[in-house]
Structure 1
Protein backbone atom coordinates (compact mmCIF):
# COMPACT_ATOMS: atom_id res chain seq x y z
CA UNK A 1 0.00 0.00 0.00
CA UNK A 2 1.28 3.44 -0.92
CA UNK A 3 1.83 5.80 2.01
CA UNK A 4 -0.73 8.64 2.22
CA UNK A 5 2.12 11.17 2.38
CA UNK A 6 3.44 10.00 -0.99
CA UNK A 7 -0.03 10.33 -2.49
CA UNK A 8 -0.32 13.78 -0.87
CA UNK A 9 2.99 14.81 -2.40
CA UNK A 10 2.00 13.63 -5.87
CA UNK A 11 -1.72 14.44 -6.01
CA UNK A 12 -1.82 17.59 -3.92
CA UNK A 13 1.57 19.28 -3.88
CA UNK A 14 2.51 18.64 -7.50
CA UNK A 15 -0.96 19.60 -8.76
CA UNK A 16 -0.90 22.72 -6.59
CA UNK A 17 2.47 23.68 -8.03
CA UNK A 18 1.26 23.58 -11.65
CA UNK A 19 0.67 27.37 -11.90
CA UNK A 20 4.08 28.16 -10.37
CA UNK A 21 5.95 25.63 -12.50
CA UNK A 22 4.06 26.70 -15.64
CA UNK A 23 4.95 30.34 -15.09
CA UNK A 24 8.58 29.34 -14.52
CA UNK A 25 8.73 27.45 -17.82
CA UNK A 26 7.04 30.31 -19.68
CA UNK A 27 9.44 32.77 -18.07
CA UNK A 28 12.37 30.52 -18.98
CA UNK A 29 11.55 30.37 -22.70
CA UNK A 30 10.09 33.84 -23.05
CA UNK A 31 12.09 36.51 -24.82
CA UNK A 32 10.10 39.25 -23.14
CA UNK A 33 11.31 40.56 -19.81
CA UNK A 34 7.91 41.97 -18.85
CA UNK A 35 6.53 38.80 -17.29
CA UNK A 36 7.51 38.34 -13.64
CA UNK A 37 8.99 35.04 -12.53
CA UNK A 38 6.74 34.91 -9.47
CA UNK A 39 3.12 36.03 -9.26
CA UNK A 40 1.21 36.07 -5.98
CA UNK A 41 -1.89 34.56 -7.59
CA UNK A 42 0.07 31.39 -8.45
CA UNK A 43 1.01 30.96 -4.80
CA UNK A 44 -2.56 31.69 -3.72
CA UNK A 45 -3.69 28.79 -5.91
CA UNK A 46 -1.08 26.53 -4.31
CA UNK A 47 -2.17 27.47 -0.79
CA UNK A 48 -5.83 26.98 -1.62
CA UNK A 49 -5.16 23.52 -3.04
CA UNK A 50 -3.29 22.52 0.13
CA UNK A 51 -6.02 23.65 2.51
CA UNK A 52 -8.95 22.37 0.46
CA UNK A 53 -7.16 19.04 0.33
CA UNK A 54 -6.76 19.12 4.13
CA UNK A 55 -10.47 19.71 4.62
CA UNK A 56 -11.36 16.94 2.18
CA UNK A 57 -9.00 14.44 3.78
CA UNK A 58 -10.12 15.19 7.33
CA UNK A 59 -13.84 15.09 6.56
CA UNK A 60 -13.61 11.59 5.13
CA UNK A 61 -12.14 10.11 8.29
CA UNK A 62 -14.44 8.01 10.41
CA UNK A 63 -14.02 7.74 14.18
CA UNK A 64 -11.21 10.26 14.40
CA UNK A 65 -10.61 12.82 17.16
CA UNK A 66 -13.47 15.26 16.62
CA UNK A 67 -11.75 18.17 18.40
CA UNK A 68 -8.64 17.76 16.24
CA UNK A 69 -10.74 17.57 13.06
CA UNK A 70 -12.67 20.72 14.02
CA UNK A 71 -9.47 22.61 14.86
CA UNK A 72 -7.77 21.59 11.60
CA UNK A 73 -10.80 22.54 9.53
CA UNK A 74 -10.94 25.89 11.31
CA UNK A 75 -7.25 26.52 10.63
CA UNK A 76 -7.70 25.61 6.97
CA UNK A 77 -10.75 27.86 6.63
CA UNK A 78 -8.82 30.72 8.23
CA UNK A 79 -5.96 30.26 5.77
CA UNK A 80 -8.44 30.07 2.88
CA UNK A 81 -9.87 33.43 4.02
CA UNK A 82 -6.35 34.94 4.16
CA UNK A 83 -5.61 33.64 0.67
CA UNK A 84 -8.89 35.12 -0.54
CA UNK A 85 -7.94 38.55 0.80
CA UNK A 86 -4.45 38.33 -0.68
CA UNK A 87 -5.89 37.28 -4.03
CA UNK A 88 -8.29 40.24 -3.95
CA UNK A 89 -5.36 42.55 -3.22
CA UNK A 90 -3.46 41.03 -6.14
CA UNK A 91 -6.39 41.66 -8.48
CA UNK A 92 -6.75 45.19 -7.11
CA UNK A 93 -3.05 45.85 -7.73
CA UNK A 94 -3.49 44.80 -11.36
CA UNK A 95 -6.64 46.88 -11.77
CA UNK A 96 -5.32 50.03 -10.12
CA UNK A 97 -1.51 50.00 -10.49
CA UNK A 98 0.41 51.63 -7.67
CA UNK A 99 -2.31 51.34 -5.04
CA UNK A 100 -0.89 48.10 -3.56
CA UNK A 101 2.75 47.14 -3.05
CA UNK A 102 2.72 43.88 -4.98
CA UNK A 103 6.14 42.82 -3.66
CA UNK A 104 4.81 42.87 -0.10
CA UNK A 105 1.83 40.76 -1.17
CA UNK A 106 4.14 38.38 -3.06
CA UNK A 107 6.40 37.77 -0.06
CA UNK A 108 3.44 37.48 2.32
CA UNK A 109 1.82 34.84 0.09
CA UNK A 110 5.12 32.95 -0.29
CA UNK A 111 5.56 32.89 3.49
CA UNK A 112 1.96 31.82 3.97
CA UNK A 113 2.48 29.00 1.44
CA UNK A 114 5.47 27.69 3.36
CA UNK A 115 3.41 27.63 6.55
CA UNK A 116 0.53 25.98 4.65
CA UNK A 117 2.87 23.35 3.24
CA UNK A 118 4.11 22.35 6.70
CA UNK A 119 0.59 22.41 8.17
CA UNK A 120 -0.68 20.25 5.35
CA UNK A 121 2.21 17.82 5.73
CA UNK A 122 1.52 17.56 9.47
CA UNK A 123 -2.15 16.76 8.77
CA UNK A 124 -1.26 14.05 6.26
CA UNK A 125 1.47 12.69 8.53
CA UNK A 126 -0.93 12.37 11.46
CA UNK A 127 -3.69 10.85 9.34
CA UNK A 128 -1.17 8.44 7.83
CA UNK A 129 0.11 7.37 11.25
CA UNK A 130 -3.38 6.90 12.69
CA UNK A 131 -4.72 4.95 9.70
CA UNK A 132 -1.60 2.78 9.63
CA UNK A 133 -1.99 2.00 13.35
CA UNK A 134 -5.69 1.20 12.84
CA UNK A 135 -5.04 -1.12 9.90
Structure 2
Protein backbone atom coordinates (compact mmCIF):
# COMPACT_ATOMS: atom_id res chain seq x y z
CA UNK A 1 0.00 0.00 0.00
CA UNK A 2 1.44 3.35 -0.95
CA UNK A 3 2.03 6.17 1.50
CA UNK A 4 -0.85 8.25 0.07
CA UNK A 5 -3.30 5.40 0.48
CA UNK A 6 -2.10 4.70 4.01
CA UNK A 7 -2.51 8.37 4.93
CA UNK A 8 -6.00 8.38 3.42
CA UNK A 9 -6.95 5.28 5.35
CA UNK A 10 -5.61 6.60 8.66
CA UNK A 11 -6.45 10.30 8.39
CA UNK A 12 -9.69 10.31 6.45
CA UNK A 13 -11.30 6.98 7.22
CA UNK A 14 -9.90 6.57 10.73
CA UNK A 15 -10.71 10.09 11.86
CA UNK A 16 -14.06 9.99 10.05
CA UNK A 17 -15.00 6.83 11.95
CA UNK A 18 -13.75 8.18 15.29
CA UNK A 19 -17.17 9.42 16.52
CA UNK A 20 -18.70 6.02 15.72
CA UNK A 21 -15.90 4.15 17.50
CA UNK A 22 -16.04 6.49 20.52
CA UNK A 23 -19.80 6.00 20.79
CA UNK A 24 -19.35 2.22 20.71
CA UNK A 25 -16.52 2.42 23.27
CA UNK A 26 -18.50 4.63 25.64
CA UNK A 27 -21.45 2.29 25.27
CA UNK A 28 -19.28 -0.69 26.18
CA UNK A 29 -18.23 1.20 29.33
CA UNK A 30 -21.87 1.55 30.33
CA UNK A 31 -22.56 5.10 29.19
CA UNK A 32 -26.27 5.70 28.68
CA UNK A 33 -26.07 6.92 25.08
CA UNK A 34 -27.58 5.50 21.93
CA UNK A 35 -25.49 2.79 20.32
CA UNK A 36 -25.58 4.35 16.85
CA UNK A 37 -26.31 7.91 15.80
CA UNK A 38 -27.18 9.12 12.32
CA UNK A 39 -25.13 12.27 12.90
CA UNK A 40 -21.93 10.21 13.22
CA UNK A 41 -22.54 8.55 9.86
CA UNK A 42 -23.48 11.87 8.28
CA UNK A 43 -20.20 13.37 9.47
CA UNK A 44 -18.32 10.37 8.08
CA UNK A 45 -20.03 10.81 4.71
CA UNK A 46 -19.18 14.51 4.60
CA UNK A 47 -15.52 13.73 5.37
CA UNK A 48 -15.35 11.11 2.62
CA UNK A 49 -16.86 13.30 -0.09
CA UNK A 50 -14.73 16.29 0.79
CA UNK A 51 -11.64 14.07 0.64
CA UNK A 52 -12.73 12.83 -2.80
CA UNK A 53 -13.07 16.40 -4.07
CA UNK A 54 -9.62 17.19 -2.71
CA UNK A 55 -7.98 14.07 -4.15
CA UNK A 56 -9.45 14.50 -7.62
CA UNK A 57 -7.62 17.81 -7.96
CA UNK A 58 -4.32 15.88 -8.10
CA UNK A 59 -5.32 13.28 -10.71
CA UNK A 60 -3.83 13.97 -14.12
CA UNK A 61 -5.92 13.50 -17.24
CA UNK A 62 -9.10 11.41 -17.07
CA UNK A 63 -11.23 14.55 -17.42
CA UNK A 64 -14.55 12.74 -17.97
CA UNK A 65 -13.95 10.46 -14.99
CA UNK A 66 -12.95 13.42 -12.79
CA UNK A 67 -16.08 15.34 -13.80
CA UNK A 68 -18.25 12.32 -13.00
CA UNK A 69 -16.58 11.83 -9.61
CA UNK A 70 -16.90 15.55 -8.80
CA UNK A 71 -20.60 15.36 -9.63
CA UNK A 72 -21.09 12.29 -7.43
CA UNK A 73 -19.26 13.95 -4.54
CA UNK A 74 -21.26 17.15 -4.84
CA UNK A 75 -24.44 15.07 -4.92
CA UNK A 76 -23.21 13.16 -1.86
CA UNK A 77 -22.54 16.40 0.01
CA UNK A 78 -26.04 17.57 -0.90
CA UNK A 79 -27.54 14.29 0.38
CA UNK A 80 -25.63 14.52 3.67
CA UNK A 81 -26.78 18.14 3.96
CA UNK A 82 -30.36 16.92 3.61
CA UNK A 83 -29.69 14.32 6.31
CA UNK A 84 -28.35 17.09 8.56
CA UNK A 85 -31.50 19.12 7.93
CA UNK A 86 -33.69 16.11 8.79
CA UNK A 87 -31.68 15.56 11.98
CA UNK A 88 -32.23 19.19 12.99
CA UNK A 89 -35.96 18.84 12.31
CA UNK A 90 -35.96 15.72 14.48
CA UNK A 91 -34.20 17.63 17.27
CA UNK A 92 -36.80 20.38 16.96
CA UNK A 93 -39.49 17.82 17.68
CA UNK A 94 -40.94 17.43 14.21
CA UNK A 95 -42.94 14.22 14.33
CA UNK A 96 -42.77 13.61 10.58
CA UNK A 97 -39.12 12.53 10.74
CA UNK A 98 -38.65 8.80 11.36
CA UNK A 99 -35.32 8.68 13.17
CA UNK A 100 -34.85 4.91 12.74
CA UNK A 101 -35.27 5.17 8.96
CA UNK A 102 -32.95 8.16 8.89
CA UNK A 103 -30.31 6.21 10.83
CA UNK A 104 -30.58 3.20 8.51
CA UNK A 105 -30.40 5.38 5.41
CA UNK A 106 -27.39 7.29 6.78
CA UNK A 107 -25.56 4.03 7.52
CA UNK A 108 -26.23 2.66 4.02
CA UNK A 109 -25.22 5.99 2.46
CA UNK A 110 -21.97 6.05 4.46
CA UNK A 111 -21.12 2.55 3.24
CA UNK A 112 -21.83 3.58 -0.36
CA UNK A 113 -19.71 6.71 0.11
CA UNK A 114 -16.86 4.61 1.49
CA UNK A 115 -17.01 2.29 -1.52
CA UNK A 116 -17.04 5.30 -3.85
CA UNK A 117 -14.00 6.66 -2.01
CA UNK A 118 -12.19 3.38 -2.57
CA UNK A 119 -12.76 3.72 -6.33
CA UNK A 120 -11.08 7.12 -6.23
CA UNK A 121 -8.17 6.36 -3.93
CA UNK A 122 -7.32 3.03 -5.52
CA UNK A 123 -7.64 4.16 -9.16
CA UNK A 124 -4.35 4.47 -11.00
CA UNK A 125 -3.25 7.97 -11.94
CA UNK A 126 -1.92 8.80 -15.39
CA UNK A 127 1.25 10.68 -16.15
CA UNK A 128 2.17 11.14 -19.81
CA UNK A 129 -0.30 8.44 -20.79
CA UNK A 130 1.16 5.88 -18.38
CA UNK A 131 -0.56 4.68 -15.24
CA UNK A 132 1.11 5.53 -11.97
CA UNK A 133 -0.45 4.52 -8.66
CA UNK A 134 -0.60 7.46 -6.24
Matched residue of 1:133: which SS? strand
- How do residues 46-125 of structure 1 correspond to structure 2 at under 5 angstroms? 46-61=44-59, 63-96=60-93, 98-125=95-122
Partner SS for 1:89: helix
**Number of positions where the alignment pairs a residue of Structure 1 with one of Structure 2:** 130
Report Cα offsets for 1:1-44 as digits up to 9, x if no partner.
83433222111110100111111112222343xx2110100000
What 5-or-longer segments of structure 1 have no aligned partner? none
Instruction: Sort the Cα spacing of 1:29 and 1:91 in 2 relative to 1 into closer, same or farther, 3 A.
Output: same
Please give the alpha-carbon distance, in whole angstroms, between the structure 2 residues aligned to 1:100 and 1:134.
47
Deviation string, structure 1 residues 68-119 (Cα, Å, up to 9, x no partner): 1111011000011001101110121111153311000000000001110100
With normalisation by structure 1, the TM-score equals 0.87
Separation (CA, whole Å) in 2 of partners of 1:75 and 1:42: 21
CA distance in 1, matches of 2:85, 2:94: 14
Is the CA contact 1:55–1:73 (under 8 Å) kept in the aligned structure 2? yes
CA distance in 2, matches of 1:49, 1:134: 25
RMSD, matched Cα: 1.9
TM-score by structure 2 length? Answer: 0.87
Higher fraction of strand = 2
Residues 41 and 31 (structure 1), Cα distance of their counterparts in 2 relative to 1, 3 Å cut: closer
Identify the range of structure 1 (20-29 vs 104-113) with the bigger mean alpha-carbon deviation: 20-29
Higher share in helix: 1
* Paired position in structure 2 for 1:130: 125
